[in-house]
Amino acid sequence: MRRILIVDCEQEISSFNPSPSEYEDFTVLRDAELFEAHAGADTCIRGFCDALGGKSDFRLIPVYGATACSAGPLSRKGFEKLSGELLAAIDKAAASEVAAIYLSLHGAMGAIGELDPEGYLLENVRSRLGLDVPIVISLDLHGLLTDRMLSNCDAIAVYHTYPHNDFTSTGQRAAKLMEAILERRAHPTMARIFIPALARGPELITETGLYGRIIDRAKAMERDGEALSAAVLIGNPFTDAPELGSQSLVITDNDAEKAQRLARELAEAFWADHKTMVAELTPLPDAIADAVRQDGPVTFTDAADAPSSGASGDSNVILSALVAAGYHGRAIIPVVDAPAAQRAHDAGVGARLRLSLGGAIDPKRFPPLEIEVEVERLYDGDYVHEFSRMPAHAGPTAVLRHENIRIIVVSKSVFMMDRAIFLAHGLDPEGADIIVVKSPGAAIRYFSFARKNYVLDIPGATSANLKSLGHTVCTRPMFPLDDDVPFSPTAQIYPARTKTAA
C-alpha cells in the first residue's frame, strides 16, 4: 500500500499589523488528531481525504497540522519552532517508505526573518523526501506563489471562489492531481505569469464580479481537460513580500507550450480588467447618515480591520463614531480587546462599568475609547465557525451594552467571516440596525438579508485603501501603488521533475 503523508500549515498575515503572532496562536494537531479535527469540517484536508481515503492502494498518513487566525507576521522564534516541529514530524513519518506528500497551505504566511515561509517548508520537504516523491499542495487564491515554492513542488490546486466556499472541493482537486501523477503517470508542467497588480473590491466576488468570469475560464480549462490545474491568484495585498502581486498559474500534462499559452490567456484577461478591480469606499460619516434612513438592517463592512486578512481586530473606529454621533439604533460590533474582556469577567453579569475599549493591540491607529457599559453576558469564547465548521477559540468573551449598541469583546483575534461571532453570543444580526462585519467579503455571503452594505474608508492594517498602508518590500511599480504600471506577460516554466513522471 502506498503511503501518502498529509500536512496542514496555514496562516495569512498582514505586514502592517504591529503585533507579531506567536507559535502559541496556532492550533497544532498531531497524528490522528489531524484527521479527527477535519472529519466533519469543510476544509482542503477533508476533501483530499474524502477523495483518496477510500482507495485500497493508498494509505493516508496524518502527520501534522498547524493553523492560526490571520494576524501580524509570525515571530522568528515562533516560525523556528513551528517549522522545526513540522519537518521533524515529516522525518518521523518518512521512516517508512513514502509514495507522496500533500500539504494544505495558504500562501500568505510571513515570518520575521523569513518572507517566504511556504517556500522554506517546501524546499526542506523536497530536500528530505527527494525528487522521487511527488509533492502536491493546495493554496488560497490570496496566496503568494513564489519561485521557491514552484521549484519545490509538483502540482498545485488553488481555490476558485471568493468569498471562499470551495475548501473541500479544492482538496478533492489536489487529490485528483495526486492521482494523475501516481496512477496515470502525468508529467505536471507548470507555467506562471506574474501580474504587477493588487486587486480589491466587489469585482473580486467570483459569483458576480469580473474576476469570477476569469476564474470561470480557469475552471473550464480544468473541466475540459486542457489543463490539470488552472488559477489566477490575487495575493494578499497586506503581505508585503518580494513576490506579492497577482499571477496566473496553469499546469498541463507535459506540455509547456500549452501551459504558457493558457497562463497568458488568463493573465491578459486579468490585466484587461485590473483597473476596475479596486474598492469603492464610503466615508464613515456618510454611511452613518445614510444608515439611519434605512428601514431594516445594514452592514458596515470594516475590511480595514479584518482578522481574516491579518488585521488586529481591535478597531473601535465605528463604535467611536456612532457614540460621537449620538446614534440610538441597534448596532452590533465585534472588537478584540483582552483586557476589556477580562474586566467584564471580573465585574460579572449585570455590572455597570467605565472601561477603555479598542486599540488594545494597535493604539496608534485606534485610540482607546473610554465608555460606560453594562455587562450583559459572558462566554468562554469557544464556538464553531459557520464558514468552515471548524472551532473558534476567542478566549474570555463579553457582550457589553452601551445604549442600544452591543459590543462583542473577544480576547483573541478570530475569523469574523460569517455570522457565528454574533449567533454564538446571543445576538441575532437580523434584529440589528447596523451590523459591523470585519471581513471584506462576508457581508455579501452571510448577511444578504441586509438592505445595504457600506464598505468603509477607515484606518486598519488591511485597508483596501492600499496606498495608505506603506508597502516597502514588494516589487515596484505595482498597481495601484504606482501610476502607469507597464505589463508584458512573461511565463516562467517549471517542468515535471519527479522520477515517477520521467
Residues of this chain that bind Zn ion (CB under 5 A): 140, 142
**Residue 436: strand pairing partners:** 300
Residue nearest to Zn ion (CB): 142
Closer residue to Zn ion in complex, CB, 252/439: 439
Of the candidates 153, 269, 276, the one whose C-alpha atom is nearest the C-alpha of residue 220 is 269
Closer residue to Zn ion in complex, CB, 345/385: 385
> How far is residue 147's CA from residue 160's CA, in Å, rounded to a whole number?
21
- Cell (9 digits) for 137: 499542495
Pairing state of beta strands 2-10 and 58-67? parallel
Closer residue to Zn ion in complex, CB, 142/192: 142
Closer residue to Zn ion in complex, CB, 158/175: 158
The contacts of residue 475 (CB under 8 Å, 6+ apart) are 194, 196, 242, 243, 244, 245
CA atoms within 13 A on the CB side of 81: 13
Angle between the N-to-C axes of helices 284-291 and 317-324, in degrees from 0 to 180, rounded to the nearest 10: 60
CB of 135 to Zn ion, least distance (A): 22
Strands ordered across the beta sheet of 188-195: 229-233, 246-253, 188-195, 491-494
Closer residue to Zn ion in complex, CB, 140/386: 140
The helix or strand, by DSSP H or E, that contains position 286, with its residue range, turns out to be helix 284-291
CB of 444 to Zn ion, least distance (A): 14
Closer residue to Zn ion in complex, CB, 94/139: 139
Closer residue to Zn ion in complex, CB, 140/222: 140
CB of 143 to Zn ion, least distance (A): 8
> How far is residue 70's CA from residue 236's CA, in Å, rounded to a whole number?
11
CB of 26 to Zn ion, least distance (A): 18
The contacts of residue 23 (CB under 8 Å, 6+ apart) are 74, 75, 77, 78, 81, 82
CB of 195 to Zn ion, least distance (A): 17
CB of 291 to Zn ion, least distance (A): 28
CB of 327 to Zn ion, least distance (A): 32
> How far is residue 211's CA from residue 349's CA, in Å, rounded to a whole number?
47
Closer residue to Zn ion in complex, CB, 302/433: 302
Instruction: Taking the CA atoms of 125, 129, 131 and 136 in sequence, report the sign of the dihedral they define.
Output: negative
The helix or strand, by DSSP H or E, that contains position 272, with its residue range, turns out to be helix 256-273
